[in-house]
A and B are shown apart, each in its own frame.
Chain A
Amino acid sequence: MSTETEHDLFGDVDLKWEHAKNRLFLWVIFAASMFGVAMLALLLLDIGTDFYVGLTEFNISLTDFLTRDGSRREELSGFRGAIVASIMLMILTAVLAFFVGVGSAIYLEEYAPDNRVTRLIEANLANLAGVPSIVYGLLALAAVVNGIGTGPVLMAGAIALGLLVMSIIIVSSQEALRAVPDSVRNGSYATGATKWQTIRGVVLPAAIPGIMTGTILALARAIGETAPLLMVGAIFVNRMPSGPFDRFSGMPTQIYAWAAEPSPHFIHLAAIGIVVLLTFLFVMNGLAMYIRHRYETEI
């Protein structure tokens, strides 16, 4: 066959306009997906500039910033109390939410019969995940701070955050449990294992990386939450909390308080605080990615 006839073969098909549409659409969706990335970059750039200005023009020492508690005097103010409070909040939140959350997920996925009660629980979980975080703060304020009468203590904040992340932990744990194939469960039953032995010995070990990933991501969300902490009264405090029943201010509330100050020095303290908070977030997200990557080949 000659090249000429080959060329003529498709001469009646004009795809120029179709290919042009293809390229146009590709560019539009690429631009859409870059929009979020660009916005994040702008945000980081803004924070980075403020961070740099704070370090240079306002002579804020990072060491002092990380080792001093807050103060009314801007040049003496540091972030240590807020960092320690946030870490304690995370630990307490994790303890409060993890066992209840994972327990609920195991019940719903492995034991619960498919009936109206189960469907009611599942529907309510979906609703809980959509409740604005300030409402959890209100709940903790009414039930713990005023109800039990603890006052604005760290434990009240941890309960608010724990309620907030519990639904996320339940849903992500359910997904992790659902990803364990039934064939593995059947293999365990056929070996003469009971239901609990099967869950403990086979299902949970296979699901735990997914559960851990979901929990860390939920905690990463909780560490940046400001509204529930403001509701339980985590503000106007700038020292390190001595325990779960001490008054506190976490990283986001401390940043909020600084950002509301008129002095530019405080504003730049807030900018450095944001960088520290973001570092925590990135480290937690990185840890979640590492766990997911480390174990994804297992099943």
Chain B
Amino acid sequence: MMARDPDDRNPASKPRETEETDTTMATAQLEDELITTEVETGSTERAGRPDETVVATTGLTVHYGDDQALWDVDIEIPVHKVTAIIGPSGCGKSTFLRSINRMNDQIDGCRIGGELHFHGKNVYDEDVDPVALRRKIGMVFQKPNPFPKSIYDNVAYGLRVQGKDDEVDLDAAVEDALRGAALWDEVKDKLDESGLELSGGQQQRLCIARTIATDPEVLLMDEPTSALDPVAASKIEDLIDELVEEYTVVIVTHNMQQAARISDKTAVFLNGGELVEFDRTATIFENPADDRVEDYITGKFG
């Protein structure tokens, strides 16, 4: 955040930084300024498009053993927009994200209740194969997790396991995906090198390239920048802004400024797994309906 390109930071946003570090000093005037600045950076022309739901949940609950991690979540995630999920640690935001592509199925003792619809189909129905679901809903993790393979094989992996490597020109698909993840220029001369040789930020973009190579409809991102330095993080943010033209992006983030900058809609999870408010990002940051959300946004807790 600090290292975000100095050119596009307008002077008005400067007080915001001091305010973040010392929230007790927040005055109404500063807060006003904070909010207007953030909403400006976050909103683009795509905010004007009508919302068409791609993922919707009704009464979604998740239990890990005896612990309930999500309480009756109802949400409608719009297509071709960035939906941010924010909230304090342990509020169930990653749990919610992982339940969209059924990655929670991998966890022993995890039980899911309620319904989660993808294009109107409940993905927890008996006849839905989670492997097929994950081919339509890709995921990028908090810690970059490239495979111990070459850069090329990392990107081609999804196409190969999905049996698409015969249908498409693999070299071209790999190049497209790497360009899509803004990594091509950095790695085009060393596609044979191990993906683990790259820097953390490059590894994360490699993971994004791996995910978009198979052209899923939805990209789930679980705090994709939290393990990265600010420069690498801002590159990922810029990338998300481009990716949303083609994909629906759902991003979990710890960083409220990031949510405000890049998202169209924001969901706030609080109280150990409750979706407290879900609305346009501008509304959430400017004029939240729930007092607890306002307290959280302004840094009074969490």
Contact = CB atoms under 8 A, between A and B. Distances in A.
Contacts of A191: 134, 138, 157-158, 161-162, 210-211, 214
Interface residues of B, number: 28
Interface stretch (A192-200, A242-250, A285-293): A192-200
A192 B108 contact: no
Contacts of A190: 101, 103, 134, 138-139, 141, 211
Given A191-B210, A192-B161, A299-B196, A183 B134 contact: no
B103 A299 contact: no
Interface stretch (B45-53, B62-70, B145-153, B234-242): B145-153
B217 to A, nearest CB: 12
A8 interface: no
Contacts of B12: none
Nearest to B147: A202
A192 B158 CA distance: 7
Contacts of A183: 141, 143, 145
A184 B147 contact: yes
Contacts of A189: 103, 106, 131, 134
A146 B178 CA distance: 64
A186 B145 contact: yes
Contacts of B160: 201
Contacts of B108: 114
Contacts of B147: 184, 187-188, 201-202, 206
Interface in A194-228: 194, 197, 201-202, 205-206
Interface string B112-148: 0000000000000000000110110011010101111
Question: Which of A187, A192, A201 gathers the greatest number of chain B CB atoms within 10 Å?
Answer: A192
A18 interface: no
A186 B141 CA distance: 9
Contact of B148 (A184, A186, A192, A197): A184
A298 interface: yes
B106 A192 contact: no
Interface range on chain A (Cβ under 8 Å from partner)? 20 to 34
Nearest to A192: B135
| Interface residues of chain A: helix, strand, loop or mixed (majority) | helix
A187 B141 contact: yes
Between B132, B147, B160, the greatest number of chain A beta carbons within 10 A of the residue's beta carbon is seen for B147
A181 interface: yes
A102 to B, nearest CB: 18
Contacts of A193: 131, 157-158, 161
Contacts of A205: 148-149
Contacts of A298: 148, 194, 196
B91 interface: no
B101 to A, nearest CB: 7
A187 B162 contact: no
B22 to A, nearest CB: 36
Nearest to A114: B108
Interface in B156-173: 157-158, 160-162
A193 B143 CA distance: 19
A192 B143 contact: no
Contacts of B157: 188, 191, 193, 201-202
A280 to B, nearest CB: 32
A191 B158 CA distance: 5
A198 to B, nearest CB: 8
Contacts of B139: 190
A206 B131 CA distance: 22
B207 interface: yes
Contact of B106 (A114, A186, A197, A206): A186
Contact of B145 (A114, A181, A192, A201): A181
A187 B131 contact: no
Contacts of B146: 187
Contacts of B207: 187
A201 B162 CA distance: 12
Nearest to A191: B158
Interface in B34-76: none
B3 to A, nearest CB: 26
A294 to B, nearest CB: 13
A205 B147 CA distance: 10
B148 A299 contact: yes
Nearest to A198: B161
B138 A197 contact: no
A191 B101 CA distance: 10
A299 B148 CA distance: 6
Interface of B: 101, 103, 106, 108, 131-132, 134-135, 138-139, 141, 143, 145-149, 157-158, 160-162, 194, 196, 207, 210-211, 214
5 contacts: A183-B141, A187-B147, A188-B147, A206-B148, A299-B148
Given A184-B147, A189-B103, A298-B148, 9 more contacts: A187-B207, A189-B131, A190-B101, A190-B138, A191-B211, A192-B132, A193-B158, A202-B147, A205-B149
